[in-house]
Structure 1
Amino acid sequence: MTNIMRASPPGLSENEAQETGALFVRAAGRAMQVLAAFHQASGPLSLSEIAARADIDKSAAQRLVHTLLTLGYLRRGPDGRGYLPGIRILDTTLDLLRLDPMVQKATPVLLELRKTVRERVDLSLYDETRLVYALRMQSKRETFYATLVGHSVPTFCTAGGRAALSVLPDDAARAIVTRTPLHAYTSRTETSVDRIMDEIAQARVDGYAVVVDEFVQGEVAIGVAIARDGVPLGALHVAGSLAEWTPEDFVEKVAPLATEAARAILGSL
């Protein structure tokens, strides 16, 4: 089953990163690779598993794991078996959220929007091939994946993602879609690049994107980009259940409110 907890982040290999200049610190990069080893983990990882996932030798992994364990960025798993991310990572997460200008300005706007629409309202940050959720205002129906800040989704098949891509020139948006793994998350996920680009073009015309059943079965979602000077910063999402809404009714009620909220966030930045 395709993972809907985390879309694969864009990034460079270690060799590619080193080619960016002499200022690149290899040891720091490898420490980040160790932390990134947990991105798709379903439980504690052994030292061998960390080495394999981080693509480093076991000796280097042992030294890095010991350092990160000592600093609190890793911890032992239950019964002392394996390793898990440590609590100090949450300190860094808090710093990102509290210091990000868009998150600061969007919080009261999303709270008010949530009271009005009484459906799930989210704010995500743009990361090219994916969006990373920074704020999540829950509705009455929730699953575990929908409650987590830091959960990420692909841009190609989500409402917020297509809205964000619609801000870009067509060739730039196509380049991002083309280098994205086009997984079918449901039976209705669109995986044709040309048809995805048609949906992005429609979002460019409408000022918002609509996705029905493509990422989460039984869900209709509207996404509005938050962008400045042609650069997407993130997106506002509102999602509802198809058991309670038709797509047409959801768009009629929610699209104007979501668009107004996104405009208010951008205007306050």
Structure 2
Amino acid sequence: MPASNRIATNMRLFHILDVMAKQQSPLTPSEINKHLKWPKQTVHRLCKSMIEEGFLHYDATGKRLLPSASLRTLANGLLASDWHTSALHQILEKLSNKVKETVNFVIPEHPGMIYRDRVQTNWAFQIHLPVGTHVPFYCTASGKTYLASLTPKNRRTMVESLHLKSLTDTTVRSTEALMLELAQIQKQGFALDNEEFYDGMIAIAVPVLDPKGHYHGAVAMHGPTVRLDIATLEDNYADLKSASTQLSLLIFSI
């Protein structure tokens, strides 16, 4: 836990609440500070201020702190305000039920594309890429939808910055070959991964756009080659495109 003098003053209360949430039991200020390791007077002062503001109160012993009714109401309100996350997951659930394979919602970050949500297929043979996993831009279907969304100039700059490491026998190794593929992806509206990231895994991804047509992320479907082929993936394009439209409406209507 970082020292208190390296934490913005207005963020220190959240660190105290974070400790209480993780321990899931009433705690004294001193017990809270075993996790924070801040100056003792700082923790006691902050806890006192939260008691005075009505967010914490002491339990029956008068020693340990509990969240007040006001804080519980606040927490429940925050959870309720996150209804769109549940709605997003339900869109993926519906899509997975239709295509009978694992589907994902993926967005770009600096290390690569990150899996924000997914619905796993019920098939016995699965490829596990859990939520929070980062995957490369250049050899995944979702990553290629992102690269294809860039302007030609920015696309080339981005592609030339990438280390096109061979992960399988079919991983793209040439900047020019990747540039040609990305131009085609921009025209057709979807991208494929033909065992370029993992041997035995293929995928298709469709971009999720904001109301102005700017790239936000991608909805993707993947599975093993023992069950799928590229033609089958392409047959599911319309369903992925429909889900992409629903996700865009959901995300940008808030």
Q: TM-score, normalised by structure 1?
A: 0.59
Identity %: 25
Partner residue in 2 for 1:256: 238
Partner residue in 2 for 1:190: 172
Partner residue in 1 for 2:49: none
Alpha carbons 1:209, 1:224 under 8 Å: kept: yes
Alignment of 1:115 with 2:97, yes or no, is yes
Aligned 1:1-269 pairs, distance under 5 A = 70-71=35-36, 103=85, 105-127=87-109, 130-139=112-121, 140=123, 141-143=125-127, 145-146=128-129, 148-228=130-210, 229-252=212-235, 254-268=236-250, 269=252
Alpha carbons 1:165, 1:232 under 8 Å: kept: no
Alpha carbons 1:164, 1:226 under 8 Å: kept: no
> What is the Cα deviation at residue 120 of structure 1?
0.8
Structure 1 vs Structure 2 CA RMSD: 2.8
Q: TM-score, normalised by structure 2?
A: 0.62
CA distance in 2, matches of 1:199, 1:172: 15
CA distance in 1, matches of 2:230, 2:115: 23
Q: Which is bigger in relative contact order (C-alpha 8 A, separation at least 6)?
A: 1
Q: Deviation digits for residues 134-153 of structure 1, max 9, x if unmatched?
A: 1121122224x42x211010
Across the two proteins, how many residue pairs are aligned to each other? Answer: 178
- Give the AA of the match of 2:229: T
> What is the Cα deviation at residue 240 of structure 1?
2.2
Alpha carbons 2:201, 2:223 under 8 Å: kept: yes
> What is the Cα deviation at residue 99 of structure 1?
7.9
Alpha carbons 2:126, 2:224 under 8 Å: kept: no
Alpha carbons 2:89, 2:118 under 8 Å: kept: no
Alpha carbons 1:168, 1:230 under 8 Å: kept: no
Change (3 A) 1:175 1:128: farther
CA distance in 2, matches of 1:249, 1:158: 17
CA distance in 1, matches of 2:147, 2:175: 13
CA distance in 2, matches of 1:214, 1:184: 8
What are structure 2's unaligned runs of at least 5 residues? 1-5, 8-33, 38-78
Change (3 A) 1:222 1:99: farther
- Give the AA of the match of 2:214: V
CA distance in 1, matches of 2:83, 2:150: 22
Q: Deviation digits for residues 94-137 of structure 1, max 9, x if unmatched?
A: xxx99889745421110100111110101112125611001121
CA distance in 2, matches of 1:178, 1:262: 29
CA distance in 2, matches of 1:122, 1:236: 6
Partner residue in 2 for 1:47: none
Secondary structure of the structure 2 residue equivalent to 1:211: strand
**Which of these two proteins has the greater Rg computed from alpha carbons?**
2
